[in-house]
Homo-oligomer: A and B are copies of this chain.
Amino acid sequence: MNGSSVHKTATKEFRNQWIDFIYQLQDDICKALEVVDGKAKFSADEWQRAEGKGGGGLTKVIQNGNTFEKGGVNTSVVYGHVTSQMMKVLNIDNNKRPSSWFAAGISSVIHPQNPFVPTVHFNYRMFELYDIDGMLIDRWFGGGTDLTPFYLFEDDAHHFHFTLKNACDKSDAALYPLFKKECDDYFVNTHRDNERRGIGGIFYDHKRADEHQDIHLLQGLAINCGYAFMDAYIPIVEKRKNTVFIQQHKHWQEIRRGRYVEFNLIHDRGTIFGLKSGGRTESILMSLPATVRFEYNYQPQPGSEEDKLWQVCLHPREWL
């Protein structure tokens, strides 16, 4: 094999490892969540992109469970020619003469029934660019896992962040503090005095190999954080899922879900780009909660449990 073939083979192997990982994680998480739920099962929709566009995805959705009201765990593996719209949106350097691209990722949002169980979201993705000869010219990773409780349990917040910190630390102990801050800075309803969607977690984007982290370390980071989802989230669900709740708690959950909808539809780059660039709408909007409430100027009673949660959304805290 010549140098170019060796290079292409290595790229293909790396890509396949990543694809294997996202499918495996999707499968593992769906099984684990079904066990927790005890009633509902994930249904699967395999979809292909429209003619002339390469790739597709596997959308797995759970609805009306004992524990989970609505949730999805989606994978997609897509590729195509670089278009001028894409160059602009992704801010791609034209000097690199990119010709084609590849993207694969896993994303999930889980909305529980019980208002004492938090909503959770995670997403891990890899993006590659190739020149006209199919040689890799750029590659980056993005991802994150964040929690949206309706009532604040400090030990849950600590457990969630601690588990994600441990996952990050396996790659580099410098990462968690950076990713924690990026998360707090990203999931923000700027139109509501910078109220956060929840109590955060980790978030990163456009992570490329550099002198600090080689590409295998970045892939390992995503794999470790992806698998940490189950350790971070499921114990909280088990602990809270049988807590007795009344209409007042459900009402507050639906109000907070309204903020979730606002963030996803007004601010979330992935959602807006996906919807406006012809992504599969039902897979993208699986992130929206089943029942939601919008009331004019609703504010919790100062000092109430609802207010306590609201205050940590307005003023993000360190949990570790």
**A residues with CB within 8 A of B:** 45, 61, 63, 70, 72, 190-192, 254, 258, 261-262, 265-266, 272, 275-276, 281-282, 285-286, 288-297
Q: Which residues of B contact A288 (CB under 8 A)?
A: 258, 294
Copies per complex of this chain? 2
Contact of B295 with A191 in the complex, beta carbons under 8 Å: no
Which of chain B's residues have a CB closer than 8 A to the CB of A296?
Answer: 61, 63, 70, 72, 282, 286
Q: CB distance A291 to B292 under 8 Å?
A: yes
In the bound complex, residues from chain B placing their C-beta under 8 Å from that of A191 are 275-276, 281
Between A and B, 11 residue pairs with Cβ closer than 8 Å are A61-B296, A63-B295, A72-B296, A191-B281, A258-B288, A261-B261, A282-B296, A286-B296, A289-B294, A290-B295, A292-B294
Complex: A285 Cα to B45 Cα, angstroms? 34
**A244→B295 CA distance, assembly (Å):** 25
Q: In whole Å, how far is A269's beta carbon from the nearest beta carbon of chain B?
A: 13
In the bound assembly, the distance between CA atoms of A262 and B61 in angstroms comes to 20
Residue from B70, B261, B297 in contact with A45 in the complex, judged by beta carbons closer than 8 Å: B297
Known: A282-B296, A285-B294, A292-B294. 11 other contacts (CB 8 A): A70-B295, A70-B296, A192-B281, A261-B265, A261-B292, A261-B294, A265-B266, A266-B266, A290-B294, A291-B293, A292-B292
- Interface core residue of A258, A286, A289, A296 (most chain B CB under 10 Å): A296
A292 with B293: CB separation less than 8 A: yes
**Cross-interface CB contact of A282 among B254, B262, B297, cutoff 8 Å:** B297
